[in-house]
Amino acid sequence: MSSTPSSPSARPSPRKLPRRRRRVRTAVPLAASGSQQMTLRRAPNIWAFVLLGGVLGAVVGVLVGLSGGGSAEFTQGAVTLFMVSVCTVLGLAAGAVLALVLDRVSVAQARAVTTELERRLIDVVRPDGQLSHDLLPGEKGPQDACGVFGVWAPGEEVAKLAYYGLYALQHRGQESAGIAASDGNRIAVYKDMGLVSQVFDEATLTTLTGHLAVGHCRYSTTGGSHWANAQPTLGATPHGTVALAHNGNLTNSAELYEKLIDKSGFPSQGEMAQGNTTDTALVTALLAEHPHGSLEDAAMHLLPQLVGSFCLAFMDENALYAARDPQGIRPLVLGRLERGWVVASETAALDIVGASLVREIEPGEFVVIDEHGLRSQRFAETRRAACVFEYVYLARPDTTINGRSVYESRVEMGRRLAREHGIDADLVMPTPESGTPAAIGYAEESGIPFGNGLVKNAYVGRTFIQPSDTIRQLGIRLKLNPLKSVVAGKRLVVIDDSIVRGNTQRALIRMLREAGAAEIHVRISSPPIKWPCFYGIDFASRAELIANGLGVEEIRASLGADSLGYISEDGMIAATLQERGELCTACFSGTYPTRLPDADKLGKNVFEARTPVDSSPRRAPGGSAVAQRPEHASAVSIDTRPSATDGLSRRPAERTSISDEDPGVQETSTGCDPGPDADLEDLILPEDRVPAARTTTGPAGPGSQHAAQPETAKDA
């Protein structure tokens, strides 16, 4: 396949090579950008040489005039003045000539440096279809995505809309951020490690021009975290260039990967051949494997083959595409602007950019948005199994999922928790911030006063520097600090959304006791988490989940609380106002909505061992990429038929069940969101760490002594 590389829309300053983590900014094409920058640097040099030449000429003129003496016709002063004038003019001319010569040499050198930077830093679609990533060798990262945003709005500043949309979705991904934009001829991608506000600034966003854009923010997980796996991914296909963002996790990645490998056993094209180990890069590469028709045809061919959770927002040069898995595990919504359309992971992102909610993208639906409007197709039947943990923790409180306010769901969970596990106490307090709505509901239902007993430092997050042993002794106080005047002498009901490993809760309880709390009663607005998630939440391996193998009383004793109560699964589901059969509760029940493959094909690092050692490129110091549409690429097919998403049939979900009697082989999660309190893990003191729970082969309860057994999956 051939393609025509375009001039990158940005160039790093040729003055010096970028630092390792310096971002490459997209800007105007090289000819204009380089010329303007060099002009600003040439002007002072030229005038300096001219001035220097004039001064030297004047000095020479004075010396010559004084040494020559006078004559009958001219006095010595006149001769000196004449020589000064002549020598000054000659000096000015000589300085100007020398300045121009040196300037031309510097321009040639700058162009040579810029050309080298272009070769090393800019991702350009090459004739072989690969992208010229320049990545660090040996660094491999996690394999999924967390927050997506897409906008099609001619005449609007789409990059800025994407920026604000990602800002609203920052809670879903704090490791890296990226935006791709198209002006109809080429796609420019800018991505880097860090928060949205750290990656982008006004100058960068101004250079991302066009009529449509796709954005992505990604959560940090176990394994290497580096620029290679940042999104959107960029790829060349027979149908044009594609930039793709993904929220979720595919469970059949290993099977799909086999379709890409060549005789060497490794992918030969695309970002995966350049060291990208995400299932997002896998989907991007597979879109290029469909040689006929349009990108829409390629997507309709590929989407039915994907298993797991996926919300995709992707684009070519002219159209915006969105797709959601048949189970609808992760949320994806459609919004309307005055002059365009928006797709986003949560409704809160629509509110931020001024878009009105139209509806959710239906499970199993594929949407195309272009100049002819919106077109909807069905690639699979709906088997709804939305993640209940979105209501518990993941989504913003001001988001609505399937018609139900997340905030109201959490408040109702607190009310039901108070009915199920009431206690005589003096104060109801949340663990900031996710426990606040449930604490409000608990206080309302119980009649116990609500108060904030903990102050949260909002500036200690997942980018916090790795603590030294000395700093670590400060422990969780770096993140949360008790209000002694509020908690001292009080019987506290501490509300949290969930317990994963238990380390954070144990540290909090110790800290509250040191602050003078008389009693500490912990209440959790979700059931015990016993099973890992394979659909986008990075719950620990089953052996690390505190509720795996321990009963409630054992967990209470381990945490050091006076009492512990979890909401029932029925109570949690009732609070969401959703049907039980349309929710995924796998992390609580062990029943998964899709069939899971063998353990060796399901890990987060399923691609790591398959990456060729000699093909792992070095890390690029920046994150800019530009691609131009191949000349022979076919146009995106247009269908102006009305949407056909109403009245779609649904059938029971095909589910995989893993029971305590036959626990299942899946020990590690393939998710992306590290789950509640993951940002506190580096701040936990050794004495606050809860030992790994035992993996049991039978029902767990107080005093259970079942030996750990290998886990094997079975079908429901």
pLDDT for the residue numbered 55: 78
pLDDT at 618 over 60: no
The pTM score is: 0.69
Q: From CA 461, how far away is CA 111, in angstroms rounded?
A: 41
404-591+665-715 classified as CATH 3.40.190.10: no
One-character DSSP codes across 235-257: EEETTEEEEEEEEEEES-HHHHH
Comparing 110 with 50, the larger pLDDT belongs to: 50
What are the tens digits of pLDDT across the range 425-436? 999 999 988 899
What are the tens digits of pLDDT across the range 134-151? 222 222 222 334 899 999
CATH class of the domain comprising 147-385+600-620: alpha beta
Average model confidence (pLDDT) across the chain:
74
- On the question of a cis peptide bond just before residue 232, with omega within 30 degrees of 0, the verdict is yes
Q: From CA 551, how far away is CA 538, in angstroms rounded?
A: 23
CB atoms within 10 A of CB 581: 12
Strands 365-370 and 320-324, how do they pair? antiparallel
Q: Quickly state the pLDDT bin for 407 (edges 50, 70, 90).
A: very high
pLDDT at 460 over 70: no
Radius of gyration of the chain (CA): 31
Comparing 631 with 533, the larger pLDDT belongs to: 533
Q: From CA 387, how far away is CA 433, in angstroms rounded?
A: 20
DSSP 135: B
Residue in 351, 310, 402 with CA at minimum distance from that of residue 168: 351
State how far the alpha carbon of 224 is from the alpha carbons of 142, 179, 277, 500, 661, in Å: 7, 22, 10, 22, 35
Three-state DSSP state, 548 = coil
Least confident of 281-295, 488-502, 688-702: 688-702
Least confident of 163-172, 290-299, 555-564, 659-668: 659-668
What are the tens digits of pLDDT across the range 53-106? 777 777 777 777 667 655 555 676 776 777 777 777 887 787 778 777 776 766
* Residue tagged active-site, from 87, 146, 584, 672: 146
Q: Quickly state the pLDDT bin for 608 (edges 50, 70, 90).
A: very low
Cβ atoms of 681 and 503 closer than 8 Å: yes
pLDDT for the residue numbered 63: 75
What 442-445 contacts at long range (C-beta under 8 Å, 24+ apart), as own/partner pairs, is 442/414, 442/415, 442/417, 442/418, 442/493, 442/495, 442/523, 443/414, 444/411, 444/414, 444/415, 445/414, 445/415, 445/416, 445/418, 445/419
pLDDT at 640 over 70: no
224: left (phi over 0), alpha (psi -120 to 50) or beta: beta
Every domain range in the chain assigned CATH 3.40.50.2020: 404-591+665-715
Mean pLDDT value of segment 267-275: 65
Looking at mean pLDDT, say which of 53-67, 284-298, 576-590 comes out highest: 576-590
Mean pLDDT value of segment 519-529: 98
Mean pLDDT value of segment 468-481: 67
pLDDT for the residue numbered 121: 31
pLDDT for the residue numbered 222: 33
pLDDT for the residue numbered 361: 98
Q: From CA 217, how far away is CA 165, in angstroms rounded?
A: 10
**Count of helix runs (H) and strand runs (E) in the chain:** 19, 27
pLDDT for the residue numbered 10: 39
Using a 10 angstrom Cβ sphere, with 0-12 exposed, 13-18 middle and 19 or more buried, the burial of residue 208 is: buried
What are the tens digits of pLDDT across the range 236-260? 888 889 999 999 999 998 888 888 8
pLDDT at 181 over 80: yes
Least confident of 168-172, 282-286, 675-679: 675-679
Q: Quickly state the pLDDT bin for 677 (edges 50, 70, 90).
A: low
Q: From CA 314, how far away is CA 411, in angstroms rounded?
A: 35
pLDDT for the residue numbered 49: 67
Least confident of 65-74, 326-335, 444-453, 578-587: 65-74
Least confident of 441-445, 537-541, 617-621: 617-621
Residue 146 is a catalytic residue: yes
Residue type, 218: R
Every domain range in the chain assigned CATH 3.60.20.10: 147-385+600-620
Give start and end residues of each alpha helix (H) in 123-273: 158-168, 196-199, 202-207, 253-257, 270-273
- Phi, psi (rounded to 5 degrees) for 516: 105, 10
- Between CA 35 and CA 44, with CA 41 as vertex, the angle to 5 degrees is 135
